[in-house]
Amino acid sequence: MRYPKEVILKDRTEAIIRPLEKDDESMLIYFYKSIPEKDRWYLKYDVTNKAVIHKWIEDIDKGLVFSIVAAAKNRIIAHAGLLTHEFGCTKHVGRLRIMVDSKYQHKRLGTWMLLDLIQLGMDKGLDDIRADFVIGEEDPAIESAHKLDFFKVATLKDYVKSSRGTRYDLQIMVKRLHKTWGDF
Amino acid sequence: MNKPSQKELTLSTSDGQVRIRANCTPEEISAYEYSSQFGTHASYKSLYTKRETLEKKAAQSGSNVTLALTDENLIVGFGVLTYPSTDERWIQLGPEMMMEVKALEVARDQRSKKIAINMLNMVLINPEIEDMIIYMVGYSWTWDLDGTRKSAQEYRKMLIKVFSPYGFMEYQTNEPNICLKPENLFMGRVGKNVSNELQEKFKWIRFGVYT
């Protein structure tokens, strides 16, 4: 795929989408530090831990995780990744994760990032892409996923729990990647 | 664009020679036979099922209808370069500043003979293209996946491979029809003489901002 990709957001902000690079470590740490706790409590990793970010940077070029970032005004404003498996019964499925700076949400940036990773999934020959979202917390991402033909396959009731003990439903969404005419 | 002179090249294929003829006039198109392959198939319909459609395109100001012709004057391929219609966003760049490769199609029984890539060469043969931005849109629902036995993604990659050598690059756009499917493709070719100002304007137009 051709990078960097220029996109213009709904508020006319110009952003660049490009792969995460080794030199991005400090910018990525800064990005996740700027994400308020209310927007990251449901992540699977402690993104305020520098070691977590370092591991993501180390994983670049290892082939199983492909990360992209969106940058504007010399800052990272979004980070997304497509996670794949080399082996096993789910190696045909890629998993998406995405985080967009709250100031840049509802501006179609998430959609552009998802679109990019969907095309990558197609290039990799995946059959499905899965994304999990916390209902009530990640509604903009759910909306973006719907626009890109992700559909709900399951809702795990009261599955995730915040640090305050509040339980939320987890929505599992899947997009089938079209391969033949019959799929259209 | 002024109506340029006609140009022709001959391509040797495994089944004989194919003439690729650029800037065809409506009159000469009407004198050729039209391959019955340009019709409706089980999972695919040709972009233009009637020869008359090509004649109309050739009659449009500035257009370039390029044909692939057998020795028997049978049309087995066509490429069409036209200005965008007035309701399309690309017109916002300015009068006659953008043109679209509207069609590039080869009859099913004549494929894999490098006809398409040679037709594209002839579609882009007029020197005026260096003063403008040429674009193409690939809607996955128009692709002959059945006939080519390709997946949508493979077909998409094939289009990129065909257009890239001629200076086309993939661009992002929020044009609603293109955004309908992730497989869809938008590529543009910025002519050598296009100013930085127009290139900047093109960037904004791709995202529906008309300044």
| pLDDT recorded at residue B23 | 96
Per-residue model confidence (pLDDT) at position B1: 56
pLDDT (0 to 100) of residue A179: 60
pLDDT at residue B3, as a whole number:
58
The answer to whether the Cβ–Cβ distance between B182 and A123 falls below 8 Å is: no
The amino acid that residue A112 corresponds to is W
So where are chain B's domains?
A: 7-205
- From chain A, the residues in CB contact with B190 under 8 A are none
Rounded distance between C-alpha atoms, residue B66 and residue B64, angstroms:
6
- pLDDT digits over B4-48, tens only? 677 899 999 988 999 999 999 999 999 999 999 999 998 889 999
| Tokens, residue A37 | 């706790």
Identity of the residue in B44, B141, B151 whose CB atom sits nearest the CB atom of A179:
B151
pLDDT in tens, B135-168: 999 999 999 998 999 988 899 999 999 999 999 9
Contact A8, B207 (CB under 8 A): yes
Q: Work out the average pLDDT over A131-136.
A: 94
B85 CA: distance to closest CA in chain A (Å): 24
The answer, for A108 touching chain B at a CB cutoff of 8 Å, is: yes
**Which of A51-65, B16-30, B68-82, B119-133 is least confident?**
A51-65
Residues of A in contact with B151 (CB under 8 A): 178-180
Angle between the N-to-C axes of helices A139-147 and A109-123, in degrees from 0 to 180, rounded to the nearest 10: 50
Residues of B in contact with A179 (CB under 8 A): 151-153
CATH class of B7-205: alpha beta
Q: Within 10 A of A89 (CB to CB), how many other CB atoms are there? A: 7
- B chain contacts of residue A119, beta-carbon cutoff 8 Å: 153, 182
Residue B185 has pLDDT above 90, yes or no: yes
* ipTM of the complex model: 0.77
pLDDT score at B155: 92
> Inter-chain contact A181–B145, Cβ cutoff 8 Å?
yes
| pLDDT (tens digit per residue) in A64-111 | 899 999 999 999 999 999 999 989 999 999 999 999 999 999 899 999
Q: Please list every residue in chain A whose beta carbon sits closer than 8 Å to the beta carbon of residue B188.
A: none
Alpha carbon of B91: minimum distance to chain A alpha carbons (Å) = 19
* Candidates B43, B181, B209; nearest CB to A181: B43
Q: Looking at chain B, which residue has its C-alpha nearest residue A112?
A: B172
Rounded to a whole number of angstroms, the distance between the first and last alpha carbons of chain A is 23
Nearest CA in chain A to B211: A12
Specify the length of chain B in residues: 211
CB contact under 8 A, A7 and B140: no
* Mean pLDDT in residue range A127-131: 95
Which structural domains are found in chain A, ordered by start?
Answer: 5-132 (3.40.630.30)
pLDDT at A163: 86
What percentage of chain B carries pLDDT values higher than 90?
84
Q: Assign A181 a pLDDT band (cuts: 50, 70, 90).
A: very low
| Tens-digit pLDDT profile for residues B45-67 | 999 999 999 999 999 999 999 99
Q: Cβ of B176: how many Cβ atoms within 10 Å? A: 9
**A8 in reach of chain B (CB within 8 A):** yes
Interchain contact A115–B (C-beta under 8 A)? yes
What's the angle, vertex CA A123, arms to CA B111 and CA A181, rounded to 5? 50
Calculate the average pLDDT of chain B: 93
Nearest by CB to B152, which of A6, A112, A179? Answer: A179
**A122 contacts B170? CB cut-off 8 A:** no
Q: Which among B43, B146, B207 is the nearest to A8, CB-wise?
A: B207
Chain A hits for B207, CB-CB cut-off 8 Å, are 7-8
Mark out the alpha helices in chain A (DSSP H runs).
25-33, 50-58, 109-123, 139-147
| Separation between Cα atoms, residue B165 and residue B143, nearest integer Å | 21
> What pLDDT does residue A178 have?
67
Give the confidence band of A184 by pLDDT, cuts at 50, 70, 90: very low
Q: What is the pLDDT of residue B43?
A: 83
